[in-house]
């Protein structure tokens, strides 16, 4: 009755992984909408000539926060590249 082959089990696992991934991205859209609303508040708080130093500090922080994910992804990509390259040599 439970006549499952290895191919069917692998197929079920890949389908489940795809469903979980899609669900994760849909849920992340709901949580990321609030982040975009904060930009107008920052602009209003830093929108005067007397806040130049503070505005520059906020801009530097934004660039710093943007750079970290790219550096992490590049490092992971390089690691995967090295692992695959070493496997091909063996």
The pLDDT tens digits for 1-39 are 455 676 687 888 888 999 999 999 888 877 765 555 556
What was the pLDDT predicted at 34?
54
Residue 20 and residue 15: Cα distance in Å, rounded?
Answer: 9
What was the pLDDT predicted at 39?
67
Would you say residue 63 has pLDDT above 80?
yes
User: Mean of the pLDDT values across residues 32-50?
Assistant: 65
Q: Which residue has the higher pLDDT, 1 or 50?
A: 50
Domain ranges of the chain: 1-45, 52-90
3-state helix, strand, coil in the chain (%, to 5): 90, 0, 10
pTM: 0.43
């Amino acid at each position: 009755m439970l006549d499952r082959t290895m191919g069917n089990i692998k197929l079920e696992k890949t389908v489940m992984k795809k469903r979980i991934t899609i669900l994760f991205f849909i849920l992340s859209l709901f949580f990321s909408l609030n982040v975009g609303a904060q930009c107008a508040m920052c602009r209003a708080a830093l929108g005067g000539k007397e806040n130049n130093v503070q505005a520059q500090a906020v801009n530097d922080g934004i660039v710093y926060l943007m750079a970290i994910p790219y550096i992490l992804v590049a490092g992971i990509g390089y690691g995967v590249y090295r692992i695959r390259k070493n496997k091909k040599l063996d």
